[in-house]
Structures are given as structure tokens and as C-alpha cells.
Structure 1
Amino acid sequence: MHDDTIAAIATAVGESGIAVIRISGPSAIEAAAPYVRAKTGLKDAATHTVQYAKIVDPATGEAVDEALVTVMRAPRSFTAEDVVEISVHGGIVPVRRVLDLLLAGGGIRLAEPGEFTRRAFVNGRIDLAQAEAVMDLIRSKSERAMKVALKQVEGALSRKIGELRQRLIELLAHLEVNIDYPEHDVEELTSAFIRERSGEVLAEIRQLLKSANEGRILREGIMTAIVGRPNVGKSSLLNLLAGTERAIVTDIPGTTRDVIEEYVTVSGIPLRLLDTAGIRETSDVVERIGVERSRSALTDADLLLIVLNRSEPLHEDDRTLLGQAAGRQAVVILNKSDLPAKLDEAEVRKLLPGTAIVPMSVKEGLGMNELGQAIADLFFGGKLEGGEAAYVSNARHAALLKQAEQALVDAIESTDAGVPIDIVQIDVRTAWERLGEITGDTAGESLIDQIFSQFCLGK
């Protein structure tokens, strides 16, 4: 399969200025050459050069499109193979016609999902963690998420994992020498030595795991429900955060009758935002369904943005909602702070002690920075690293780190209990193998197949 030459559309399908068709494989240049009419023949083109060309049907000589054609010779390409990228006019018809023409010749086949990135992995250009970070980079929903993914593409996490595996392999070497030659006490191999070396790696794994929740949030966003009684400004807040008129805003209570979902960023923090129907008792059948969905969203959300009207006294529905939010991650927003205050803030603090309270005027766009800081305080201890450190943002990586952590805990406990060294060695090796699954060094073929099957075509 990896000896084939493959092609796919590498840009999003639809109308655009240009679209890129990527061809990769040992015969990429030779297979594409008959379709490219340029000043310099494709076979003679120097690596990393771009030239204007016409894409033609070799059977008829008919010009199909004008293009810019880029040649990248192995191993200096994304896949570490010969690569030709054809930039044609964007649009479904011209792109499909050029791709169909290339595939009809018989020397090029359509790429499978993720096959370009998989070839980069197989050819040793990137490891498995870097390959997964490519998709995280594409799907990033905020600048900070992008920075985290870019650091991982560049190998920040992979280098850290490599360092930890190197320490464990050195420990394994000492253990094996002691098992094979018990008469030679290599470096006075003792229980304290095993405990020290295992403990060092264990501490660094736990440090990585501390970043896992932050990394997950940056990758997926915080599921956030905007809740409150009708007409306190929930939909207006959604529109402000989204930067567009996403929800209908009127003075009529009960306008929002379903949960509206939107991805937004607040101070660089991605939120999967749910605008809910106003929570109140109602006889309207449709509105009542919306209220029930709002209560469900309130239960499922990671973060509640509880909107109260600061220009009115606290309503009984407000008190009920604040009571339901007890023990949850929440920020109370006192909206309409541009109007005279009539709400008793002390009562709010009594009902939800320790919860951040942010005065805002959604109408005037005031309080956004304070809201962002309150969310950062809740989920990031007030500060985001912004991708400078090695983050763990992938659930698979976090699970494997947890397994490696447990294996090293078992190794230390077994050592303390006087268990024979050959049994302790099994736990240390398990930790080494689990870390290797993150980078792909010890990952099975079925796992690799599963990971790359989730990629999009053309990547």
C-alpha cells in the first residue's frame, strides 16, 4: 500500500479562490507529468519550485484548467515522499474534473482518510503524537488551542515522552543486569535505587497529567450553559460572545424555546456555549419543553453562566436557580449594570458562596475581560500557559499516562514489599511500553489504523 502513488483534494470542498490537489508517492512526479504543461517539464523541475502550468487531458490535448504546480522531492516533503501539489481554481466542478483526470490514468489512486499523515508517520518524519496533533491543529477553536497543537506538532510532548522512556530503559538495563548477574551489584542496585529512579519518572508523569484537563478544555472547549429566568439578557449575551445575531432578542419573555449551541472564545478560552430557554413555570407546551431542555443542559454543563438582572430585585426563580447551581462550576453575571442597581448582591453571595460575580452590561459590551478572568480562575488557576509547555490534550494520551503512572506505583510498592526484582521489572517495562504507545513506538497496527481512520481525506 505504501508503494502506491495517492492523490486527494487537500482543501475544503466548495467555492474558493484556489483548491489544492496533493499527490504523493514514489511515482508522484512521473505519474503527474503527462497532465502538466509547463515551461519546465515536471520531471526536470527542481525540488521546492512552483511554476505556472495548464492541466490537460493527455488523450485529447484539451486544457482543463490553469494551475500553479509545486514539486517537492523526497525526503523534503510532508510525507517524506515525492509530492506534487496542484493549485487549481476553487469550485466543485474544476477540482473534481482535475482529480478524476489524474485518477483515470491508472498510476494514481485516491488516498484513504489520513493516508498522507500516516505516510509521514511510517516514513519516520513524525511520530504518532505529532500525527494526532495535526488534526488538533486543524480543529483548534482558539488561538491558545492552536498554540498547544502546534507545539505538539513540533514535538514538545514527544520529546518529553522520549526523555521519560530513556530513563526507564536505563532503569530496565540495570534491572536486567542484576537479574542475569546477581553476583554483580551494578551501581549498588537496591530498593532505594529503584524507588528513586521510578519516583523521578512518576513525578514527571503526574506533572503531565495535571495539564490534561487544561489541554482537554483547550482542545474541546468548556461545555457552558447560559441560564437564567426569561428576559435577563441570556440571548443578548450569546450574541455578544458570538459577535453575531445568533439568537432572537425581544422584550417578550419566552422567545428562546430551545437550546442554541455556538462555539465562542472568551479571553482565548474556547467555550461550547449553550443558550437556554428562560427557566420559569409556564403553561405554554412548547416553552415548557424548552425549559426542560434548559434544566437538562444545566445538569450536563461543565460551566454555568448564571445571568441575573441587576436592575431588578432578586426574583424567586433566581433564588431557585442559584440553589440548583450549588456545588457547580459557575460564574454569576449581574447584567444591566449600566442601570441603577436594585438587586441585593449580598444575598447572591449568601446563596452561592465563593462563586465569582461579574457585573456586566451586555447592551454596552462591558465586563468581557472580567468574565474571561473569572473563567480562567475557575479552570486554569488564573493563568494559561498558552502552549509554551508540553500539554496533554488528547484523551488517549491521558489514559496511557494514567496506566504508566499506575505501573510505576506498583513497581515502587512491590519494591517496598520485597517482591523479587524480575517481578518489579514487569511493572517498569509496562510503564515504558505505555509511554511508547503515545508516540507509536510500541503501538499495534490496529491502533494505528483506528487513529488514522478518523482523519479527513487529503490530510
Structure 2
Amino acid sequence: MTRKLPIIAVATAPGKAGIGVIRISGPQLGPIAQALFQKTLAPRQANLFTLRDSDGAAIDQLIAIYFAGPASFTGEDVLELQCHGGPQLLELVMKRCLELGKDQGLVIAEPGEFSLRAYLNDKIDLAQAEAIADLIDAQSEAAVRGAARSLQGVFSNDINSLIEEITQLRILVESTLDFPEEEIEFLQNAHARERLKTVIHQLHALRDGAKQGKILRDGIQLVLAGAPNVGKSSLLNRLAGEEVAIVTPIAGTTRDRVKESITIHGVPIHIIDTAGLRDTSDLVEAKGIERSWEAIRAADLVIFLQDLGSPGEIESANALELKTQIVKALPPKCPVLEVSNKSDLLMELSANQSDEGVLLISAKTGDGIEALKQKILESVGWGGSQEGAIVARRRHLDCLDRAASHLEKSQQFAADGNISLELFAEELRLAQDQLGQITGKLLPDDLLGKIFSQFCIGK
């Protein structure tokens, strides 16, 4: 699955910096280290040396640290070279290392190959490996802390605890399969039903936490939709706290999607302001409207914005028809939050109250905006607590959902009047397999390769 050759890559981000780090990992790096430094390095000690090209000219002064395997990130011998962080300089250092490591087969690492080797050498499990990528890509402080907890093994420990509970149940069930006349007595004496109920409860709690973690990791794709000139761009500017979209009294000003990312109570929100939805003969505006529908079909939440300044019957009928079209285009279970803008034009109405489920705001004055922010989080199921949160991925949620489904089926096969220990045991096994895929214990090789291919080179 992975190459046995030594690998090398720049581990720091592209661009200019004070320091650049180059990482080398392989089963035996002694010959490469000797070629680079002309001496043997003591593990975990900083060594200052001058790297020279093939003509003997100095390239840079480097600090080298040697980690002897298996006491390293990858479980192999690892060399980390710290030099100055200019892109051209890093390229020269890489080139010289590849020249000196040619005889040992030194090659440039593939995306995620360092983390993949750490996983394959049992230094981390798959959930922890994914947490490395999530920690680097975190979009908020809460996401950083959640990814750090996953990297420390909090999520994996919860998964492994569930697997152990299911394993114990499987041992009890499968040891009784040869004695079918004792099925009912077994279930009663082993308290199998109660234990299964506890496992299901724990799994549901873990799944709820993982859903919160996915929000922290990916954020919320929030689409502002509605007819032209209802104030979508003004609302975007108000939520963003700056003028990121052009606002004019002319209908159809926004002709393409405008994106802006903010955080609300630590949760990343990716706001997409769309072109006003209407029939038009303008080719440019029509293209923008087409992209608006694409954004709606990919949304986690849609704010359907209406204009309180146009309360006529025709406008109300058009708004109802447009809302119906939006609901039909939405992904499954995607909520629609109805919001009426320009409440400042209606003095008798309070912008902090809702009218039949419609939230009233003023993008111009800011009235109702805090209530809207809270409603956004509530609509996507955000629980509000970041304490103890872990960062999870869609893959994790899918595995947890399938595991829950198998456990619930096993519960049916253990019910009075429907006892079938063979099917009970099989559903337990399937649930255990799904949980094992989260930590990588039972993951197909092709899926494993796909996961790590999305990592950065040098990670």
C-alpha cells in the first residue's frame, strides 16, 4: 500500500517565511544522514551544519534533528531539516537531498504519505490521522480545539469503548448458538437486552456529538435566497460586518454568487449571497440565477428573505410560489428559515418578534440580527456547547448511522417473541465492522488511499 523507499517533502506552507522545514522518513536513514552531515547524529539532538552543493559551495546553514524509529511520528527513522524559508532555497535543499539520497532510493513523498506511514506503523489510528488534517484546516478556535481532542485520541477511545462492549456481547451470544433451547434463559441471565440498550444509548450520544463536530469542521453553507431587491446583499454586509457586496436600489444588482465566511459563537458560517430569483431575458443575470439555484441545491441552510415594504397580495403570492420552488430544490432535511427584512419601515412591528414563524429584521439598522444569528445555529442543530467537542467528518457520521441501524435491528431480533440469536449476532458483527471503519481497523485499501490522497504533501 505504501512504498518502502525513503521519502522527502517540504513540511511547511508554500511561500516566504523565516523558517522552512523539510522532512525525510524511511526504514533506514543512516546512509542518507551520513551523506548529508558527514557524521552520525545522536537522536533527538539539534545539530547545526552547512549544506553544500556538488561543487562545495554553501547552500545554507541548517539545523538537523534525527528521530530514530520507532520513536518518531511515522514509526520509521525521521530527519527534520530546518533552514531559511525562501521557496527557491527550499527547492535547492530538496534537490541536494535527493542527489545525496539517490543511492538509497530517496523520492518525493505523495500527499499524506507521512501520516499514512504513521497509521500503517500503528503510531496513530485513522481517526487521529484525519484529525491532523482537520487541525491544520480548522476555521475557528473551537474547530482547533475539537481537532486537537480527536488527535489526542478522545474520539477513538469512545469508538473503541463501544467496539469492546459489542465484542463482549458477541462473545456471549455466539457461545450460546449451539444451545438454541436456552436462548431465552441466556438473554435474561446475561442481561443482554439491557446491555444492548446501553450500547445503543451510548452510540446515539456519540453520534449527536459527532454531528456537532462536523459543523465545527465543515461549517454551515448558508444561502441567502429571495426575489430581487429584498435586501440579501445588505444582510450579507450586516452579518459580515463590512461592505462585501454592492448594494443599490436597482433590482438585479447581484448577478453572481458572493461568498463570505464568518463565525457565529465559534461556528464557521459560509454565507452565499445569490442573484435575485426571477424570470429575466438578461443573459448575464440568467446565468447568475442559474448559479443561485446550484448554491441552493448544495446548502445546509437557506434563508428565504422577503421584503416587508412590499406587502401586497401579488407580492405575497409570488413569494409563496418562490418559496415552494426553493423547498423543492433543497437537499433532504435542509431547513428553510423565513426572514422578513426592512422592519424599520413598519413602526408598529417589533424587529425582535416573529410573525407566524417569520423572523423580522432590519439589515439597515441591525434590529433582529442577533436573534437571526441564534436562529441560524438552532436551525442546523447546533447544541451551543463546545466543551468536550470533537471534530468529525461525513464519513464518521455515515459509519455511526449504519452502526446504529444494525444495533437497532439486533434489538429487534432479541425481542420477546422474535428471538433469533444467529441474526442477533450477525447484526452485532455488522455494527462492529462499521465502527471499526472509523479508526481504520476494517477499512478497504482503496478507500484508505482516497482519504490520504486528500492530505497535503509533507503531512
Task: Kindly state the Cα deviation for residue 225 of structure 1 after the two structures are TM-superposed.
Answer: 1.4
The 5 A counterparts of 1:83-162 are 83-105=78-100, 106=102, 107=104, 108-162=106-160
Residue 118 of structure 1, CA deviation: 1.1
- Preserved contact between residue 21 and residue 80 of structure 2 (Cα < 8 Å): yes
**Candidates 49, 53, 56, aligned match of 2:49:** 53
Tell me, yes or no, if the aligned pair for 1:141 and 1:270 is still in contact at 8 Å.
yes
Letter matched to residue 55 of structure 1: L
Q: Aligned residues, how many?
A: 443
CA distance 1:190–1:31, shift in 2 (3 Å) = same
Distance change in 2, residues 1:54/1:281 (3 Å) = same
Secondary structure class of the residue paired with 1:44: coil
Hey, what's the Cα distance between the residues in 2 that align with 1:212 and 1:401? Answer: 9
Secondary structure of 1:178's match? coil
Distance 1:116 1:333, change over 3 A: farther
**2: CA distance, partners of 1:289 / 1:145:** 35
Letter in 2 for 1:436: G
Give the CA deviation at 1:192: 7.2
Partner of 2:330: none
1:163 alignment counterpart: 161
- Specify whether residues 406 and 370 from structure 1 end up closer, same or farther in structure 2 by C-alpha distance, changes over 3 A only: closer
- The aligned residue for residue 395 of structure 1 is 394
Whole-angstrom CA distance in 1 between matches of 2:142 and 2:77: 33
Query: 1:330 is matched with which residue: 328, 332, 337?
Result: 337
Matched residue, 1:28: 29
> Which residue does 1:409 correspond to in 2?
408
Say yes or no: does 1:81 pair with 2:84: no
What are structure 2's unaligned runs of at least 5 residues? 328-334
1:418 and 1:185 map into 2 onto residues whose CA distance is 11
Which residue does 2:332 correspond to in 1? Answer: none
Letter in 1 for 2:206: L
| Whole-Å separation in 2 of the counterparts to 1:122 and 1:360 | 53
Aligned to 2:195: 197
Task: Extract unaligned runs of 5+ from structure 1.
Answer: none
Aligned to 2:57: 62
- Kept in 1, the 8 Å contact 2:403–2:434? The answer is yes
Q: Alpha-carbon deviation of 1:231?
A: 4.8
Structure 1's 50 and 238: CA in aligned 2 closer, same or farther, altered over 3 A?
farther
Amino acid at match of 1:138: I
> Relative to structure 1, is the Cα distance of residues 129 and 448 closer, same or farther in structure 2, using a 3 angstrom cutoff?
same
Query: Alignment partner of 2:82: what SS?
Result: strand
3-state SS, counterpart of residue 441 of structure 1:
coil
Question: Against the structure 1 CA distance between its residues 354 and 444, is the aligned structure 2 distance closer, same or farther, given a 3 Å change threshold?
Answer: same
The 5-angstrom pairing of residues 333-348 of structure 1 reads 334=341, 337=344, 341=346
User: For structure 1, which segment, 16-25 or 186-195, has the greater mean C-alpha deviation from structure 2 after superposition?
Assistant: 186-195
Q: Is the 8 A contact 2:183 2:419 kept in 1?
A: no
Q: Is the 8 A contact 2:41 2:66 kept in 1?
A: no
Q: 1:184 to 1:13 in 2, by over 3 A?
A: same
1:373 corresponds to 2:362: no
1:291-440 → structure 2 map (5 Å cutoff): 291-298=289-296, 300-307=298-305, 312=309, 314=311, 317=315, 320-321=318-319, 324-325=322-323, 328-330=335-337, 332=339, 334=341, 337=344, 341=346, 349-350=354-355, 353-361=356-364, 369-380=370-381, 383-386=383-386, 388-390=388-390, 393-416=392-415, 417-440=417-440
Percent of counterpart pairs with the same letter?
Answer: 36
CA contact (8 A) 2:359 2:372 kept: no
Deviation (angstroms), 1:116: 0.7
Q: Counterpart amino acid of 2:84?
A: H
CA distance in 2, matches of 1:257, 1:226: 13
**With structure 1 as the length reference, what TM-score do the two structures score?**
0.83
Summarize deviations over 1:194-253 as a string: whole Å, max 9, x none: 322222212211222233443333222222112345455433443454466543344544
Across the aligned residues of Structure 1 and Structure 2, the Cα RMSD in angstroms comes to 3.4
The separation in 2 between residues aligned to 1:281 and 1:445, in whole angstroms, is 49
For 1:134, the aligned partner's letter is I
Shift of 1:173: 1.9
Change in CA separation of 1:236 and 1:33 when aligned onto 2, cut-off 3 Å: farther
TM-score by length of 2: 0.83
